[in-house]
Protein backbone atom coordinates (compact mmCIF):
# COMPACT_ATOMS: atom_id res chain seq x y z
CA UNK A 1 0.00 0.00 0.00
CA UNK A 2 2.70 2.42 1.09
CA UNK A 3 4.90 1.30 -1.77
CA UNK A 4 2.25 1.87 -4.42
CA UNK A 5 1.55 5.25 -2.88
CA UNK A 6 5.25 6.13 -3.12
CA UNK A 7 5.28 5.01 -6.73
CA UNK A 8 2.22 7.08 -7.53
CA UNK A 9 3.79 10.06 -5.80
CA UNK A 10 7.05 9.82 -7.69
CA UNK A 11 5.10 9.62 -10.95
CA UNK A 12 3.19 12.68 -9.89
CA UNK A 13 6.38 14.47 -8.89
CA UNK A 14 7.81 13.99 -12.33
CA UNK A 15 4.54 15.26 -13.83
CA UNK A 16 4.79 18.32 -11.59
CA UNK A 17 8.32 18.93 -12.75
CA UNK A 18 6.88 19.62 -16.16
CA UNK A 19 4.59 22.37 -14.89
CA UNK A 20 6.54 25.45 -15.79
CA UNK A 21 7.18 27.37 -12.59
CA UNK A 22 8.88 30.70 -13.32
CA UNK A 23 12.67 30.48 -13.27
CA UNK A 24 12.83 32.87 -10.30
CA UNK A 25 10.65 30.51 -8.28
CA UNK A 26 12.77 27.50 -9.16
CA UNK A 27 15.89 29.46 -8.20
CA UNK A 28 14.64 30.09 -4.64
CA UNK A 29 16.11 28.23 -1.70
CA UNK A 30 13.71 27.32 1.11
CA UNK A 31 13.93 29.24 4.41
CA UNK A 32 15.72 27.20 7.07
CA UNK A 33 14.08 27.66 10.46
CA UNK A 34 15.66 26.87 13.81
CA UNK A 35 15.33 23.18 14.63
CA UNK A 36 12.26 22.49 16.77
CA UNK A 37 12.86 20.79 20.15
CA UNK A 38 10.62 17.85 19.18
CA UNK A 39 12.67 17.18 16.05
CA UNK A 40 16.00 17.21 17.88
CA UNK A 41 14.58 14.93 20.58
CA UNK A 42 13.33 12.50 17.93
CA UNK A 43 16.49 12.51 15.82
CA UNK A 44 18.99 12.23 18.66
CA UNK A 45 16.92 10.19 21.11
CA UNK A 46 17.13 12.92 23.78
CA UNK A 47 14.47 13.85 26.34
CA UNK A 48 12.64 17.02 25.31
CA UNK A 49 12.91 18.44 28.83
CA UNK A 50 16.72 18.34 28.69
CA UNK A 51 16.97 20.29 25.44
CA UNK A 52 17.82 23.98 25.41
CA UNK A 53 16.63 25.88 22.34
CA UNK A 54 18.41 29.16 21.72
CA UNK A 55 17.80 29.14 18.00
CA UNK A 56 14.81 31.31 17.09
CA UNK A 57 15.01 34.47 19.22
CA UNK A 58 11.96 33.45 21.22
CA UNK A 59 11.12 34.94 24.62
CA UNK A 60 12.54 32.58 27.27
CA UNK A 61 9.83 33.74 29.71
CA UNK A 62 7.11 32.54 27.35
CA UNK A 63 4.18 34.89 26.87
CA UNK A 64 2.28 37.25 29.15
CA UNK A 65 -0.17 35.34 31.35
CA UNK A 66 -2.83 37.84 30.29
CA UNK A 67 -2.20 37.00 26.63
CA UNK A 68 -2.39 33.26 27.25
CA UNK A 69 -5.63 33.70 29.16
CA UNK A 70 -7.12 35.79 26.34
CA UNK A 71 -6.01 33.19 23.78
CA UNK A 72 -7.69 30.45 25.78
CA UNK A 73 -10.90 32.42 26.00
CA UNK A 74 -10.80 33.03 22.23
CA UNK A 75 -10.73 29.26 21.64
CA UNK A 76 -14.44 29.23 22.43
CA UNK A 77 -15.00 31.18 19.20
CA UNK A 78 -12.89 29.18 16.80
CA UNK A 79 -15.87 27.89 14.82
CA UNK A 80 -16.35 31.42 13.53
CA UNK A 81 -14.12 33.30 11.13
CA UNK A 82 -12.01 35.96 12.82
CA UNK A 83 -12.67 39.66 12.33
CA UNK A 84 -10.89 40.07 9.00
CA UNK A 85 -10.48 43.77 9.62
CA UNK A 86 -8.99 43.23 13.09
CA UNK A 87 -11.08 46.11 14.42
CA UNK A 88 -10.32 45.83 18.15
CA UNK A 89 -6.62 45.18 17.78
CA UNK A 90 -6.11 47.90 15.18
CA UNK A 91 -7.94 50.32 17.46
CA UNK A 92 -5.69 49.37 20.38
CA UNK A 93 -2.55 49.64 18.24
CA UNK A 94 -3.73 52.99 16.91
CA UNK A 95 -4.11 54.23 20.51
CA UNK A 96 -0.73 52.75 21.43
CA UNK A 97 1.01 54.61 18.59
CA UNK A 98 -1.22 57.71 18.52
CA UNK A 99 -2.14 57.11 14.88
CA UNK A 100 -5.30 56.32 12.95
CA UNK A 101 -6.31 52.67 12.39
CA UNK A 102 -6.16 53.26 8.60
CA UNK A 103 -2.38 53.31 8.93
CA UNK A 104 -2.22 49.71 10.15
CA UNK A 105 -1.78 46.40 8.36
CA UNK A 106 -2.11 43.26 10.46
CA UNK A 107 -0.03 40.30 9.39
CA UNK A 108 0.30 36.60 10.07
CA UNK A 109 3.60 37.49 11.71
CA UNK A 110 5.45 40.60 10.55
CA UNK A 111 7.00 38.27 8.00
CA UNK A 112 3.60 38.34 6.32
CA UNK A 113 3.70 42.14 6.16
CA UNK A 114 7.13 42.07 4.48
CA UNK A 115 5.73 39.59 1.99
CA UNK A 116 2.56 41.63 1.40
CA UNK A 117 4.58 44.79 0.81
CA UNK A 118 6.65 42.94 -1.78
CA UNK A 119 3.47 41.74 -3.51
CA UNK A 120 2.05 45.26 -3.54
CA UNK A 121 5.14 47.02 -4.86
CA UNK A 122 7.48 44.60 -6.65
CA UNK A 123 7.13 42.85 -10.01
CA UNK A 124 9.46 41.44 -12.66
CA UNK A 125 11.51 44.29 -14.07
CA UNK A 126 11.68 46.12 -10.74
CA UNK A 127 14.34 45.87 -8.05
CA UNK A 128 14.71 45.95 -4.28
CA UNK A 129 17.74 46.97 -2.25
CA UNK A 130 18.85 45.16 0.90
CA UNK A 131 22.05 44.62 2.84
CA UNK A 132 24.51 41.77 2.90
CA UNK A 133 23.85 39.58 6.00
CA UNK A 134 20.28 40.95 6.23
CA UNK A 135 17.15 39.12 7.36
CA UNK A 136 16.68 36.51 4.64
CA UNK A 137 12.95 37.12 4.19
CA UNK A 138 13.84 40.39 2.42
CA UNK A 139 15.63 38.43 -0.26
CA UNK A 140 12.98 35.68 -0.45
CA UNK A 141 10.14 38.21 -0.80
CA UNK A 142 12.03 39.95 -3.60
CA UNK A 143 12.86 36.74 -5.46
CA UNK A 144 9.33 35.41 -5.19
CA UNK A 145 8.03 38.47 -7.08
CA UNK A 146 10.55 37.96 -9.90
CA UNK A 147 12.13 41.27 -8.96
CA UNK A 148 15.87 41.79 -8.88
CA UNK A 149 17.59 41.92 -5.50
CA UNK A 150 20.43 44.38 -5.12
CA UNK A 151 22.55 43.24 -2.19
CA UNK A 152 24.72 46.01 -0.80
CA UNK A 153 27.96 45.05 1.00
CA UNK A 154 27.70 45.44 4.77
CA UNK A 155 29.95 47.68 6.76
CA UNK A 156 31.19 46.12 10.01
CA UNK A 157 28.47 43.44 9.55
CA UNK A 158 25.78 46.16 9.62
CA UNK A 159 23.74 48.11 7.08
CA UNK A 160 25.69 50.73 5.14
CA UNK A 161 22.75 53.07 4.60
CA UNK A 162 24.73 55.50 2.47
CA UNK A 163 25.76 52.70 0.08
CA UNK A 164 22.19 51.43 0.07
CA UNK A 165 20.94 54.87 -0.95
CA UNK A 166 23.56 54.95 -3.69
CA UNK A 167 22.46 51.52 -4.94
CA UNK A 168 18.94 52.74 -5.74
CA UNK A 169 18.22 52.56 -9.49
CA UNK A 170 15.39 54.00 -11.53
CA UNK A 171 13.60 50.61 -11.33
CA UNK A 172 13.99 50.31 -7.53
CA UNK A 173 10.69 50.26 -5.65
CA UNK A 174 11.64 48.97 -2.21
CA UNK A 175 14.57 49.26 0.22
CA UNK A 176 14.55 46.83 3.12
CA UNK A 177 16.17 48.01 6.35
CA UNK A 178 16.14 45.66 9.35
CA UNK A 179 16.98 47.59 12.50
CA UNK A 180 18.28 45.86 14.55
CA UNK A 181 19.23 43.38 11.86
CA UNK A 182 18.91 39.64 12.30
CA UNK A 183 21.24 37.65 12.43
CA UNK A 184 23.92 40.26 13.11
CA UNK A 185 22.11 42.30 15.78
CA UNK A 186 23.68 45.43 14.30
CA UNK A 187 21.83 48.68 14.80
CA UNK A 188 21.79 51.99 12.98
CA UNK A 189 21.13 55.03 15.19
CA UNK A 190 17.78 56.83 14.69
CA UNK A 191 19.47 60.04 13.52
CA UNK A 192 21.20 58.16 10.71
CA UNK A 193 18.02 56.37 9.66
CA UNK A 194 16.19 59.67 9.53
CA UNK A 195 18.96 61.26 7.49
CA UNK A 196 18.78 58.26 5.13
CA UNK A 197 15.01 58.71 4.73
CA UNK A 198 15.61 62.32 3.70
CA UNK A 199 17.94 61.10 0.93
CA UNK A 200 15.74 58.31 -0.47
CA UNK A 201 13.61 59.25 -3.50
CA UNK A 202 9.95 59.67 -2.57
CA UNK A 203 8.90 57.00 -5.08
CA UNK A 204 10.87 54.25 -3.30
CA UNK A 205 9.26 52.48 -0.33
CA UNK A 206 11.49 52.05 2.72
CA UNK A 207 10.46 49.00 4.72
CA UNK A 208 11.89 49.54 8.20
CA UNK A 209 11.69 46.22 10.05
CA UNK A 210 11.81 46.81 13.81
CA UNK A 211 11.12 43.29 15.08
CA UNK A 212 13.33 43.87 18.14
CA UNK A 213 12.14 47.39 18.93
CA UNK A 214 11.05 46.60 22.52
CA UNK A 215 14.58 45.45 23.38
CA UNK A 216 16.17 48.75 22.42
CA UNK A 217 17.62 51.06 25.06
CA UNK A 218 15.58 54.28 25.44
CA UNK A 219 18.17 56.35 23.56
CA UNK A 220 18.10 53.88 20.65
CA UNK A 221 14.37 54.21 20.12
CA UNK A 222 13.55 56.03 16.94
CA UNK A 223 10.37 57.96 16.37
CA UNK A 224 9.93 55.78 13.29
CA UNK A 225 6.13 55.70 13.46
CA UNK A 226 6.02 59.48 13.88
CA UNK A 227 8.30 59.88 10.86
CA UNK A 228 5.57 58.51 8.59
CA UNK A 229 3.82 61.91 8.48
CA UNK A 230 7.02 63.34 7.04
CA UNK A 231 7.91 60.33 4.86
CA UNK A 232 4.81 58.78 3.23
CA UNK A 233 7.13 56.22 1.59
CA UNK A 234 7.98 54.65 4.97
CA UNK A 235 6.51 51.34 6.15
CA UNK A 236 7.46 50.33 9.72
CA UNK A 237 6.96 46.73 10.81
CA UNK A 238 6.74 45.39 14.35
CA UNK A 239 5.95 41.98 15.75
CA UNK A 240 4.41 40.15 18.70
CA UNK A 241 6.79 37.23 18.12
CA UNK A 242 9.82 38.45 20.02
CA UNK A 243 9.51 40.46 23.26
CA UNK A 244 5.75 39.76 23.43
CA UNK A 245 6.42 36.03 23.27
CA UNK A 246 3.69 35.11 20.78
CA UNK A 247 5.83 33.60 18.00
CA UNK A 248 3.65 30.49 17.73
CA UNK A 249 0.47 32.47 17.15
CA UNK A 250 1.89 34.40 14.18
CA UNK A 251 1.00 38.04 14.52
CA UNK A 252 2.75 41.25 13.56
CA UNK A 253 1.84 44.51 11.89
CA UNK A 254 2.93 47.31 9.64
CA UNK A 255 2.38 51.05 10.02
CA UNK A 256 2.37 53.31 6.98
CA UNK A 257 0.66 56.24 5.32
CA UNK A 258 -3.03 55.29 4.81
CA UNK A 259 -2.54 55.09 1.02
CA UNK A 260 0.36 52.67 1.41
CA UNK A 261 -1.45 50.68 4.10
CA UNK A 262 -4.51 50.47 1.84
CA UNK A 263 -2.50 48.97 -1.03
CA UNK A 264 -0.77 46.49 1.26
CA UNK A 265 -4.08 45.57 2.92
CA UNK A 266 -5.53 44.69 -0.49
CA UNK A 267 -2.87 41.97 -0.77
CA UNK A 268 -3.88 40.27 2.50
CA UNK A 269 -5.84 37.08 2.61
CA UNK A 270 -9.24 38.12 3.99
CA UNK A 271 -8.61 36.30 7.30
CA UNK A 272 -4.82 36.31 7.57
CA UNK A 273 -4.74 36.70 11.37
CA UNK A 274 -6.61 34.21 13.55
CA UNK A 275 -9.05 35.21 16.27
CA UNK A 276 -6.79 33.60 18.88
CA UNK A 277 -3.80 35.64 17.71
CA UNK A 278 -5.81 38.87 17.66
CA UNK A 279 -7.13 38.30 21.18
CA UNK A 280 -3.72 37.38 22.58
CA UNK A 281 -2.02 40.37 20.95
CA UNK A 282 -4.66 42.71 22.31
CA UNK A 283 -4.05 41.46 25.85
CA UNK A 284 -0.27 41.38 25.39
CA UNK A 285 -0.27 45.01 24.33
CA UNK A 286 -1.70 45.93 27.72
CA UNK A 287 0.86 44.03 29.79
CA UNK A 288 3.74 46.49 30.12
CA UNK A 289 5.06 44.73 33.19
CA UNK A 290 5.71 41.56 31.18
CA UNK A 291 7.64 43.50 28.54
CA UNK A 292 9.69 45.19 31.28
CA UNK A 293 10.60 41.83 32.83
CA UNK A 294 11.46 40.39 29.43
CA UNK A 295 13.67 43.32 28.52
CA UNK A 296 15.46 43.21 31.87
CA UNK A 297 16.09 39.46 31.57
CA UNK A 298 17.45 40.05 28.08
CA UNK A 299 19.75 42.83 29.24
CA UNK A 300 21.23 40.67 32.00
CA UNK A 301 21.46 37.62 29.73
CA UNK A 302 23.24 39.62 27.04
CA UNK A 303 25.90 40.65 29.57
CA UNK A 304 26.20 37.06 30.79
CA UNK A 305 26.56 35.64 27.28
CA UNK A 306 28.89 38.24 25.81
CA UNK A 307 31.17 38.06 28.88
CA UNK A 308 31.17 34.30 28.72
CA UNK A 309 31.96 34.29 25.01
CA UNK A 310 34.75 36.83 25.49
CA UNK A 311 36.27 34.73 28.24
CA UNK A 312 36.38 31.83 25.77
CA UNK A 313 38.40 34.12 23.52
CA UNK A 314 35.54 34.42 21.01
CA UNK A 315 34.58 37.51 19.09
CA UNK A 316 30.88 38.35 19.02
CA UNK A 317 29.08 41.02 17.03
CA UNK A 318 27.67 43.77 19.27
CA UNK A 319 23.91 43.13 19.25
CA UNK A 320 20.89 45.30 20.04
CA UNK A 321 18.47 42.38 19.82
CA UNK A 322 17.69 39.33 21.96
CA UNK A 323 20.45 37.24 20.37
CA UNK A 324 24.13 37.45 19.59
CA UNK A 325 26.19 36.10 16.72
CA UNK A 326 29.59 34.75 17.64
CA UNK A 327 32.52 33.68 15.50
CA UNK A 328 33.42 30.08 16.32
CA UNK A 329 35.40 29.03 13.23
CA UNK A 330 33.99 25.76 11.92
CA UNK A 331 30.40 26.69 12.73
CA UNK A 332 28.93 23.58 11.09
CA UNK A 333 30.92 21.29 13.36
CA UNK A 334 30.27 23.32 16.52
CA UNK A 335 26.55 23.47 15.71
CA UNK A 336 26.36 19.68 15.33
CA UNK A 337 28.31 18.97 18.48
CA UNK A 338 26.18 21.38 20.51
CA UNK A 339 23.10 19.70 19.09
CA UNK A 340 24.37 16.33 20.29
CA UNK A 341 24.57 17.87 23.77
CA UNK A 342 20.96 19.03 23.48
CA UNK A 343 21.75 22.69 22.83
CA UNK A 344 20.13 24.11 19.70
CA UNK A 345 21.61 27.29 18.25
CA UNK A 346 21.42 28.68 14.72
CA UNK A 347 23.99 28.28 11.94
CA UNK A 348 24.03 31.40 9.76
CA UNK A 349 26.07 30.28 6.75
CA UNK A 350 23.02 31.05 4.59
CA UNK A 351 23.44 34.69 5.62
CA UNK A 352 27.02 34.83 4.41
CA UNK A 353 28.43 34.15 7.89
CA UNK A 354 29.89 30.62 7.65
CA UNK A 355 32.07 31.01 10.75
CA UNK A 356 29.36 32.36 13.04
CA UNK A 357 26.59 30.88 15.13
CA UNK A 358 23.62 32.90 16.31
CA UNK A 359 22.55 32.33 19.91
CA UNK A 360 19.32 33.66 21.40
CA UNK A 361 19.43 35.04 24.92
CA UNK A 362 17.78 32.50 27.19
CA UNK A 363 17.20 32.12 30.91
CA UNK A 364 20.32 32.43 33.04
CA UNK A 365 20.52 28.63 33.40
CA UNK A 366 20.12 28.14 29.63
CA UNK A 367 22.85 30.65 28.86
CA UNK A 368 25.15 28.90 31.35
CA UNK A 369 24.44 25.51 29.86
CA UNK A 370 25.21 26.84 26.38
CA UNK A 371 28.49 28.44 27.50
CA UNK A 372 29.53 25.28 29.31
CA UNK A 373 28.79 23.06 26.31
CA UNK A 374 30.43 25.50 23.93
CA UNK A 375 33.61 25.46 26.04
CA UNK A 376 33.54 21.67 25.99
CA UNK A 377 32.97 21.46 22.24
CA UNK A 378 35.66 23.98 21.38
Q: Give the residues lining the site for ligand PLP (CB under 6 A).
A: 57, 109-111, 135, 178, 182, 209, 211, 239, 241-242, 247, 252
What CA–CA distance (Å, rounded) separates 234 from 209? Answer: 11
The minimum distance between CB 183 and ligand PLP, in angstroms, equals 8
Beta-carbon-side half-sphere exposure of residue 127 (alpha carbons within 13 Å) = 14
Closest to ligand PLP by CB, 126 vs 178, is 178
The minimum distance between CB 140 and ligand PLP, in angstroms, equals 12
Q: Are 238 and 253 in contact (CB under 8 A)?
A: yes
**Number of residue whose CB is nearest ligand PLP:** 109
Closest to ligand PLP by CB, 211 vs 297, is 211
Closest to ligand PLP by CB, 224 vs 341, is 224
What CA–CA distance (Å, rounded) separates 105 from 237? Answer: 9
The minimum distance between CB 109 and ligand PLP, in angstroms, equals 3
Q: Are 318 and 305 in contact (CB under 8 A)?
A: no
DSSP state of 236: E
Closest to ligand PLP by CB, 237 vs 265, is 237
* Residues forming beta bridges with residue 360, ordered by sequence position: 323
Closest to ligand PLP by CB, 111 vs 306, is 111
What CA–CA distance (Å, rounded) separates 99 from 102? Answer: 8
The minimum distance between CB 13 and ligand PLP, in angstroms, equals 30
Closest to ligand PLP by CB, 245 vs 308, is 245
Closest to ligand PLP by CB, 112 vs 148, is 112
The minimum distance between CB 35 and ligand PLP, in angstroms, equals 16
141: enclosing H helix or E strand: helix 136-144
What are the backbone angles phi and psi of residue 50, rounded to the nearest 5°?
A: -90, 0
How many other CB atoms sit within 10 Å of the CB of residue 230?
11
The minimum distance between CB 239 and ligand PLP, in angstroms, equals 3
DSSP characters for 286-346?
T-HHHHHHHHHHHHHHHHHHHHHHHHTT-EE---SSSEEEEE-SSHHHHHHHHHHTTEE-E
The minimum distance between CB 107 and ligand PLP, in angstroms, equals 7
Amino acid sequence: MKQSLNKAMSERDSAEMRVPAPSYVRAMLPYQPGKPITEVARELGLAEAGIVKLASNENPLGASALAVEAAQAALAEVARYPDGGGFMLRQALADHHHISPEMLVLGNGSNDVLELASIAFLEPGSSAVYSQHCFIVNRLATQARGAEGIEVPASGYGHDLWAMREAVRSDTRVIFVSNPNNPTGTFVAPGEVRHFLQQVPANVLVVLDEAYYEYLAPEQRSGSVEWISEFPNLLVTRTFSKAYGLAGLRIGYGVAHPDVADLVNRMRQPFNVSNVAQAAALAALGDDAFIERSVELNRAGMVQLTRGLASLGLESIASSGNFVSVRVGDAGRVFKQLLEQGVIVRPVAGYGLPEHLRVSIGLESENSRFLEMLAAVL
